[in-house]
Structure 1
Amino acid sequence: MRVLAFVGLGVLGVVVACAGALVQDGWFPGGLLLALAAAVALFHGGAVATRSRLGAAVPVILWFVTVMYLSVSRPEGDFLFAAGAGPYVYLLGGMVAGVICATLPRRSPGDASGARLGR
């Protein structure tokens, strides 16, 4: 069951990257914020749902690979990312958010290291 969760998170990473690539420049600046919010929600939600850092890492990696693939211009001259501030913010913001979500420390529910003793 856990493997299916990771496969689903990977597919969602590809879908969010494709949707974000289309929306981020189409409805600038609202689309950019929407695309980044969707990516952050996926990365953090994957980590929380699977209770592991791998739950954030899988969609981050596939999101990044998809965005890199979509950013390459084709011989016909077609491309999804124009040279501008919006696409760079989407790319760098998504990468930073992914790294943050994948490296956040996980606390188990029984961890009482911050509890005060003797009171």
Structure 2
Amino acid sequence: MSGERAPALAQPLRAPSAGRAGAYLGLLVLGAVTGVAGALVQPAWFPGGLLLALAGEAALVLGAARVMGGRAGGVAVAAGWMAVVVLLTASRPEGDFLFAAGAGSYLFLLGGIGVAVICATLGAGRQPDGGPARLGK
């Protein structure tokens, strides 16, 4: 038994390398930029702008999960998007606001959160090394 190596999923998690951590930080910023762009586009061309903003977010979350080889890439994008959108919903002391109290804004907020969760969950999880055979064999 001492010569066998434990399966990849049974090994403890390690901190990501510096390059991988930088990539996650970049994806977080890219998600924030997508949130700002979606907040500006969705009221301009309703309903096409809303669909464009949500489709852009979905593509970015799924693409990040695929590129990074796990759900963490999608979660980084979704976290950046959600943080910025929640910050943009707050009104400023001057009375300015970005989101009006309308159906489009609520669809963007709730739909965007739903899209982020669904797409981050659809991303491939951490897989063990080896062939596509069942793990028990």
The answer (yes or no) to whether the contact 2:65–2:124 under 8 Å persists in 1 is no
Hey, what does 1:52 align to over in structure 2? 70
Hey, what does 1:38 align to over in structure 2? 56
Q: How does 1:11-90 map to 2 (within 5 A)?
A: 11-90=29-108
Q: Comparing both structures, which one devotes a greater share of its residues to helix?
A: 1
Hey, what does 1:117 align to over in structure 2? none
Residue 93 of structure 1: CA displacement? 1.1
Structure number with bigger Rg: 2
CA–CA distance in structure 2, aligned partners of residues 27 and 20 of structure 1: 11
Hey, what does 1:111 align to over in structure 2? 132
TM-score (norm 1): 0.87
Structure 2 vs 1, CA of residues 105 and 66 (structure 1 numbering), >3 Å: closer, same or farther? closer
Q: Mind listing any 5+ residue stretches in structure 2 that lack a counterpart? A: 1-18
Structure 2 vs 1, CA of residues 105 and 27 (structure 1 numbering), >3 Å: closer, same or farther? closer
TM-score (norm 2): 0.76
CA–CA distance in structure 1, aligned partners of residues 117 and 49 of structure 2: 22
Residue 11 of structure 1: CA displacement? 1.0
The answer (yes or no) to whether the contact 2:61–2:77 under 8 Å persists in 1 is yes
Aligned residues: 113
CA–CA distance in structure 1, aligned partners of residues 41 and 123 of structure 2: 31
Structure 2 vs 1, CA of residues 66 and 5 (structure 1 numbering), >3 Å: closer, same or farther? same
* CA distances 1:67-106 after superposition (whole Å, capped 9, x unpaired): 0000111121111100111111111111111111222262
Percent identity of equivalent pairs: 54
CA–CA distance in structure 2, aligned partners of residues 112 and 23 of structure 1: 46
Q: Which runs of 4+ in 1 moved over 4 A?
A: none
RMSD of aligned alpha carbons: 1.7
In structure 2, give the amino acid aligned to 1:57. V
Structure 2 vs 1, CA of residues 49 and 74 (structure 1 numbering), >3 Å: closer, same or farther? same
